[in-house]
Amino acid sequence: MFHWRDDSEGLTRAFTSRSGGVSAAPYDSLNLGSRVGDDPADVTENRNRVASALGVPAVAFMNQCHGADVAVIEAVPDCTPDADALVTLTPGLALAALVADCTPVLLWDVAGPAVAAVHAGRPGMMKGVVGQVVSTMRDLGAQSISAVVGPSVCSRCYEVPLELREEAASVTPESRAVSWTGTPAIDVAGGVVAQLHDLHVDISWVAGCAREDLRLFSHRRDGVTGRFGGFIVRKAP
């Protein structure tokens, strides 16, 4: 179920794999995305299994829009917010960001209650979604923010037109890359990491390329497919 998990520092931070769920092909098996064509009952069961494994009654998700909007929540909302980042100060409230090539980022205040889950695709990286999240967390009192960046499509596998690469590089030069075949490419995760570094966020990075690792969902590899997730929750007292 979990590609990577860490339960230290009074937190649980995790990135799921594609195994351990009930969805049928091409979503097999732990698809967590509700808007990719999978059976809604299977998605609900998969989400319940992850919540149980995290030790929480439910998880807060968002309708991801490839933007930079941040939603601050106090509980699992009745209506799923349109956003690409969730922030909470509530212990025991688990947050999720879903991906299938994009970069999932989990952030937390080392000394305070704030935690966040971020969906950072190419558009979000270019629009500065991680900067918006860090600013929101600091406005809420965060003093020392750390982050873990999850697996995503690597730069070698993210071929794009030259104009698009240069547009991304004009925002974050570290995102300029070359594919396996020498064509223009974008390193979204590298751009996100560079942005976090410039914001003085302490970073760790979970290795892996979603397209190359069959344990993860990848839209670039498979087309119609599921979504894996990044999850964070501060343990309740």
Query: What was the pLDDT predicted at 237?
Result: 81
The range of the structural domain enclosing residue 119 comes to 2-234
Which amino acid makes up residue 234?
A: R
Query: What was the pLDDT predicted at 3?
Result: 98
Mean pLDDT for all residues in the chain: 97
Query: What was the pLDDT predicted at 133?
Result: 98
For position 55, which CATH number holds?
3.60.140.10
Task: Return the structure tokens found at 221.
Answer: 């590899």
How confident is the model over 26-82, as pLDDT tens digits?
999 999 999 999 999 999 999 999 999 999 999 999 999 999 999 999 999 999 999
The CA-CA-CA angle for residues 39, 1, 73, to 5°, reads 75
Average pLDDT score over residue span 221-229: 98
pLDDT tier at 138, thresholds 50, 70, 90: very high
Number of domains in the chain: 1
Closest CA to 14 of 129, 109, 96: 96
Report d(CA 92, CA 73) in Å as an integer: 12
Average pLDDT score over residue span 106-133: 98
Task: Return the structure tokens found at 14.
Answer: 């995790």
Average pLDDT score over residue span 205-221: 97
Average pLDDT score over residue span 92-115: 98
